C-alpha cells in the first residue's frame, strides 16, 4: 500500500518519526491506525453500554464489593 501526502503532512510525519523514536514512517502510521481501531472499539462498547439496561445503582456499596472482588482475583495486588 502506498499513501500520497502533501508536503506539509509528510514533514509532520517525518518530525513525529524523529521525535517519538519510530524507526520508519510506516511504524508511525501503523500506530495511528491501531489507536483509531481502539477508539472505534471503545466507542462501540460505550454505545452498547449506554443502550443496555441498568444493572443497578453504582453506589458506595457497589464499589466496595467491586474492590473486594478485584482483590480476591489479584491477591498479589492487594498487598500493595
Coil, helix or strand at residue 54: coil
Give yes or no for residue 17 having a pLDDT over 60. Answer: yes
What integer is the mean pLDDT of 7-30? 97
What integer is the mean pLDDT of 38-63? 94
Kindly report the pTM of this predicted structure: 0.65
CA distances from 47 to 41, 50, 57, 71 (A): 10, 5, 19, 29
**Model pLDDT, residue 72:** 94
C-alpha grid cell, residue 59: 453506589
Amino acid at each position: 500500500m502506498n499513501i500520497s501526502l502533501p508536503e506539509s503532512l509528510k514533514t509532520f510525519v517525518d518530525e513525529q518519526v524523529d521525535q517519538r523514536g519510530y524507526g520508519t514512517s510506516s511504524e508511525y502510521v501503523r500506530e495511528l491506525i491501531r489507536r483509531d481501531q481502539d477508539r472505534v472499539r471503545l466507542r462501540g462498547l460505550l454505545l452498547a453500554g449506554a443502550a443496555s439496561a441498568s444493572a443497578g445503582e453504582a453506589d458506595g456499596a457497589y464499589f466496595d464489593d467491586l474492590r473486594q472482588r478485584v482483590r480476591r482475583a489479584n491477591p498479589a495486588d492487594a498487598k500493595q
